[in-house]
Amino acid sequence: MRESVTESPNRAAAPNLSAIEKVEQQVPGPREERPPVEGRSAAYDSDLLRAARREPVSRTPVWFMRQAGRALPEYRKVRAGIPMLESCMRPDLVTEITLQPVRRYGVDAAVFFSDIVLPLKAIGVDLEIKPDVGPVIANPVRDFAGLEQIRPLDPDADLWFVTEAVRQLVGELGPKPLIGFGGAPFTVASYLIEGGPSKNLEKTKAMMLGAPELFAALLDRLADLTAGFLRVQIEAGASVVQLFDSWVGALSPRDYQRYVMPHSAKVLAAVADLGVPRIHFGVGTGELLPLMAAAGADVVGVDWRVPLDEASRRIGPGYAVQGNLDPAVIFAPWPAIETRVREVLREGAQAPGHIFNLGHGVMPEMDPDTLARVVELVHEASAR
């Protein structure tokens, strides 16, 4: 089946949240036309960057969130005995792990191997990533004194290993884009406040509503931290970045707009001058999509709950979309997978730009061969 680059239908239906216009006026330049950056990266003309800019592509680009990791035996082998965050601080290991899924799956981009909590570790916050659990914080932030753990980032001293790994990778990758990333202030704050992963984010919401000044001060510090992390990656050669707000779907649009969006907008605005596309992603964000776009994204990442044509309608024609195959579909028999992949491509073709991805990350139990087959199918079925 052939997917064509369809003229995106003129959608008069603007997002019906009048608040968005207000926010778009306040937020520095989410939709500004940026001047071309001097010394365009080797990846500038790749399909992934073209799709992000809503330009025609030769075929739909595809990568997988969390494509590096435990689904790959070669990852488990090189990581054996090395704690997660320590592995992120060894440039040679980071380079190898980042390249593994590119070799194995034939994806159109590498995603820098690191973690959303790595910058916290780099500035000295006492935390670890526990296997099968996630980030665990020794001294959760519960008051203003707790904020002092989050000191300003000194990129050269704190993140030299990121610069080195990104440089190595960009050299190896040539015209293939390297995606840098960071954690959005809300999602990172949720770990700091809860002390670890949490299902309902009770403490986070209690602080947001009960101590809004403390909450805002925390998110503001985290915005600067993530902005610094993203800038380091871009300046070292990452040609696109993704802001992960994985758990923000827990919020209503009103609370998102009031308590969280300004901080995410600060992060996205802080890298706008560098001229690389910014992808903004969260899980369960169907009701937040227009706001997440207006926060300063070029591409909005969509989970599997909203079809991409509908997602694109919700955010309007000025944005590309990324997604959104239900990760669980990878465990179904191949004919079911194939049907769903083609559906996602068809729906994605209704948006002005589409980057194929899962609706959330790769899981350790997934069969690498199936993921490789998905990449092949996306390329074949979308070839123009």
Minimum CB separation of residue 291 from ligand CP3 in Å reads 19
The answer to whether residue 65 forms part of the interface with ligand CP3 (CB under 6 A) is yes
Minimum CB separation of residue 71 from ligand CP3 in Å reads 9
SS3 362: coil
Query: What is the rounded end-to-end Cα distance, in angstroms, of the chain?
Result: 10
Q: For the chain, how many helices (H) and strands (E)?
A: 17, 9
Which of residues 54 and 231 has its CB atom nearest to ligand CP3 in the complex?
231
For residues 66 and 22, give the distance between their C-alpha atoms in angstroms, rounded to a whole number. 35
User: Using an 8 Å Cβ cutoff, are 239 and 289 in contact?
Assistant: no
The answer to whether residue 84 forms part of the interface with ligand CP3 (CB under 6 A) is yes
Check if 167 is active-site: no
User: Using an 8 Å Cβ cutoff, are 128 and 197 in contact?
Assistant: no
The answer to whether residue 131 forms part of the interface with ligand CP3 (CB under 6 A) is yes
Which range in 8-16, 108-116, 324-332, 345-353 contacts ligand CP3 by CB under 6 A?
Answer: 108-116
Catalytic residue among 115, 224, 245, 298, which?
A: 115
Minimum CB separation of residue 246 from ligand CP3 in Å reads 3
Minimum CB separation of residue 40 from ligand CP3 in Å reads 25
* Out of 30, 61, 119, 135, the residue judged to bind ligand CP3 by CB under 6 A: 135
**Residue 305: in which H helix or E strand, if any?**
none
The answer to whether residue 67 forms part of the interface with ligand CP3 (CB under 6 A) is yes
* Out of 181, 215, 259, 319, the residue judged to bind ligand CP3 by CB under 6 A: 181
The answer to whether residue 246 forms part of the interface with ligand CP3 (CB under 6 A) is yes
Cβ-defined contacts of 123-132 (< 8 Å, 24+)? 123/150, 123/151, 123/152, 123/153, 123/158, 123/225, 124/149, 124/151, 125/149, 125/150, 125/192, 127/85, 127/191, 128/83, 128/84, 128/85, 129/83, 129/84, 129/85, 131/84
What residue type is assigned to position 349 of the chain? A
Minimum CB separation of residue 77 from ligand CP3 in Å reads 12
Crossing angle of helices 261-270 and 212-236, in 10° steps, is 20
* Per-residue x/- track, 187-226, ligand CP3 (CB under 6 A): ----------x-----------------------------
Check if 66 is active-site: yes
Which range in 112-120, 152-160, 264-272, 318-326 contacts ligand CP3 by CB under 6 A?
Answer: 112-120
User: Using an 8 Å Cβ cutoff, are 5 and 348 in contact?
Assistant: no
* Out of 43, 68, 250, 276, the residue judged to bind ligand CP3 by CB under 6 A: 68
Nearest one of 277, 353, 321 to 37, comparing CA atoms: 277
Crossing angle of helices 212-236 and 202-210, in 10° steps, is 110
Minimum CB separation of residue 341 from ligand CP3 in Å reads 20
Check if 79 is active-site: yes
Binding site for ligand CP3 (CB under 6 A): 65-70, 79, 84, 111, 113, 115-116, 129, 131-135, 181, 197, 244, 246, 361
Active site residues: 66, 70, 79, 115, 191
